[in-house]
Structure 1
Amino acid sequence: MDEAMTAEEQAIKKNVLSRMKRIEGQVRGIQGMIESGKECQDILVQMRAVRSALQSANKLILKRYLIKCYAESMENGADPKDALEKFIGVVTGFIEG
């Protein structure tokens, strides 16, 4: 792992990668369910599980962003409002310009 990463950042990275591998397996499982003609209800339950897992991974990635990117912006003398607007743009997909 990157030596410049803090222990917390490394733990987040490891956790997210683990979750993404699990999600990948779940998605392959859903594909198999569809191919084999499983009931829609069963497929939708698995889809909900994937969506929930993605949301959990997203929260961890947001945490890492705040720890690393936002904090670094502040340490490098960025305008707090600009750094916050950039963060909001990343989270919402809405970037003024």
Structure 2
Amino acid sequence: MVKVQKDQEALKKDIMARMKRIEGQVRGVQRMIDEGKECEDILVQVRAVRSALRSATTQIMRRYLLCCSEQAVKSGDIEGQYERLLKLVSDFIDG
């Protein structure tokens, strides 16, 4: 259990660092638009933001899986946690 909590905390720190970088990238895109930069250059940066968001999403899902498995063990409600996880993934894919 302690290892899972440490893993969750490490993932949280990683996710927060990623989100701050993404925030900076988005500000950079805004600045590029404001300064009238070439659309091609702006789109390259937008693609970088999308890629960074995908990576962050993977880490967020990983953290969620750790939390779900820990809660399932604590509560004994493995089926309920499994259903919750399936709904989350399904909503994310459909969204």
SS in structure 2 at match of 1:37: coil
Deviation at 1:79, TM superposition (A): 4.4
Match of 2:83 in 1: 85
Deviation at 1:83, TM superposition (A): 2.3
Structure 1's unaligned 5+ residue stretches are none
Whether the 8 Å contact between 2:22 and 2:49 is mirrored in structure 1 is yes
Following superposition of structure 1 onto structure 2, how do residues 11-26 of structure 1 map, counting pairs within 5 Å? 11-26=10-25
Q: What is the rounded CA distance, in whole Å, between the counterparts of 2:16 and 2:45 in structure 1?
A: 20
Q: TM-score, normalised on structure 1?
A: 0.82
Following superposition of structure 1 onto structure 2, how do residues 1-97 of structure 1 map, counting pairs within 5 Å? 6-80=5-79, 82-93=80-91
Greater fraction of residues in helix: 2
Q: How many residues of Structure 1 are paired with residues of Structure 2 in the alignment?
A: 89
Q: What is the rounded CA distance, in whole Å, between the counterparts of 2:35 and 2:69 in structure 1?
A: 46
Q: What is the rounded CA distance, in whole Å, between the counterparts of 2:35 and 2:59 in structure 1?
A: 34
What is the root-mean-square deviation of aligned Cα atoms in Å? 1.7
Superimposed CA distance per residue, residues 7-50 of structure 1 (whole angstroms, 9 cap, x where no aligned partner)? 11111000000000000000000000001111111111101110
- Give the structure, 1 or 2, with the largest relative contact order (CA under 8 Å, sep 6 or more): 2
SS in structure 1 at match of 2:36: coil
Q: What is the rounded CA distance, in whole Å, between the counterparts of 1:11 and 1:79 in structure 2?
A: 24
Q: TM-score, normalised on structure 2?
A: 0.83
Whether the 8 Å contact between 1:70 and 1:83 is mirrored in structure 2 is yes
> Residue type matched to 1:92 in 2?
S
Q: What is the rounded CA distance, in whole Å, between the counterparts of 1:50 and 1:16 in structure 2?
A: 14
Deviation at 1:92, TM superposition (A): 2.4
* Identity among equivalent pairs (%): 49
Q: What is the rounded CA distance, in whole Å, between the counterparts of 2:86 and 2:75 in structure 1?
A: 19
